[in-house]
Amino acid sequence: MVHFYTDKRVVVTGGLGLIGSFLCEELLAVGAKVILIDDESKGDWRYIPHLRESVEYCKGSLEDPKFAIESLTGCDYVFHLASRPYGVGFSQKNNFEMFRFNDLINTNVLDAIAHHQPKHALVVSSSCVYSDDSPTPMSDCFPITGEPERVNWGYGWAKRILEQKAFIYQKETGIPITVVRPFNIYGERYHWAGEKSQAIPMLTKRVMDGENPMLVWGSGNQRRNYLHATDCARAMMRLVENGYFERPVNIGREETVSVKDLVKRLATIAGIELDLICDRSRPEGRFIKSADSKLLMAALGDDFTWDIDLHEGLHRMVDWYKLTFSS
């Protein structure tokens, strides 16, 4: 069966990353010719060794504008996922570093898109663009007022500027550019980044390492919507396939789970009994982080369904720990 992406040259920047690896896999499954771009700073081939011979691999840093131009040569579609996100513990203390790197690669990729004129591009923003006092669930408005969330301030500004640049480039070049704002994406191909790691991988490792009692940052009552990277990748593909680019769109849902409940679920799956201690002196970020998904679901179409619920996703995370750390 011929698919929308069959035989199309599709560039995925950050293709070894969490969402990128699943996106490459989904694109290959429908017959796309995938050009995977990565600098291997966070991604890892061991999670997708079965894809190595199936993609065209361009290793290099998108901080180099010449490399960005060269790596997008001949592309039909572009999915720009490359970025440098970390957990709140690192991000809130390194705002300029988070801003500088992400803004630089975003500019270089947009310049390359303008140069090569693909049929359609998608760029990944973040739920961090929303202010801490924005309504819950977060509505995908544009432009956004106020400051980005405090604990990811530098990263949030880089993503806001990406959105504005994409809007300007789209108007001047005529290239459709879809902007998406993913909410708390997780998955079992996460490349461990130590203390810089994001929430679910960090909590999974601490549970599986036997930390007991387990210290939870903040009240533990802070709530998040979590979406598996496979479903995020599928949603991004469908948005481009459907020709959606009118304004930024959330990739997430309204349902949330507290951090305390998340830890308990992980412990139950792992067969571990533990006690929790909440440290209110540690940052917890926005108290409730959930996505208004009305625009997303309308753009995806009535036949789109989510494949991986949180229970299955957490099972996969426990297996990820065993694969990554049990040797």
192-250: pLDDT as tens digits: 767 766 789 889 999 999 999 999 989 999 999 999 999 999 999 999 999 999 999 99
Residue 191 has pLDDT above 90, yes or no: no
Q: Which of 60, 65, 77 minimizes the C-alpha distance to 12?
A: 77
- Number of structural domains the chain divides into: 1
| Mean predicted confidence (pLDDT) in 286-295 | 93
pLDDT of residue 325: 84
Q: Which of 132, 161, 283 minimizes the C-alpha distance to 218?
A: 283
Written as six digits, the tokens of 83 are: 């970025």
Written as six digits, the tokens of 124 are: 């990944």
Domain contains 313: no
pLDDT of residue 327: 56
CATH of the domain at 16: 3.40.50.720
Contacts of 138 (CB under 8 A, 6+ apart): 127, 130, 250, 289, 290, 291, 292
Q: Three-state DSSP class for 66?
A: helix
Q: Which of 224, 204, 209 minimizes the C-alpha distance to 317?
A: 204
The whole-angstrom separation of Cα 130 and Cα 134 is: 7
Q: Three-state DSSP class for 288?
A: strand
Average confidence score pLDDT of the chain: 92
pLDDT of residue 48: 87
Residue 89 has pLDDT above 80, yes or no: no
User: Using an 8 Å Cβ cutoff, are 286 and 222 in contact?
Assistant: yes
Q: Domain range for residue 68?
A: 9-190+226-253+290-307
CA 315 to chain centre: 20
Domain contains 270: no
Domain contains 114: yes
| Mean predicted confidence (pLDDT) in 75-80 | 98
pLDDT of residue 154: 92
The whole-angstrom separation of Cα 107 and Cα 110 is: 5
Domain contains 169: yes
What's the pTM?
0.93
Domain contains 196: no
Q: Which of 231, 165, 190 minimizes the C-alpha distance to 86?
A: 190
Domain contains 80: yes
- For 181, list phi and psi in degrees, rounded to 5: -120, 90
Residue 94 has pLDDT above 80, yes or no: no
Residue 88 has pLDDT above 70, yes or no: no
Domain contains 90: yes
pLDDT band, very low/low/confident/very high, at 86 (cuts 50, 70, 90): low
Domain contains 215: no
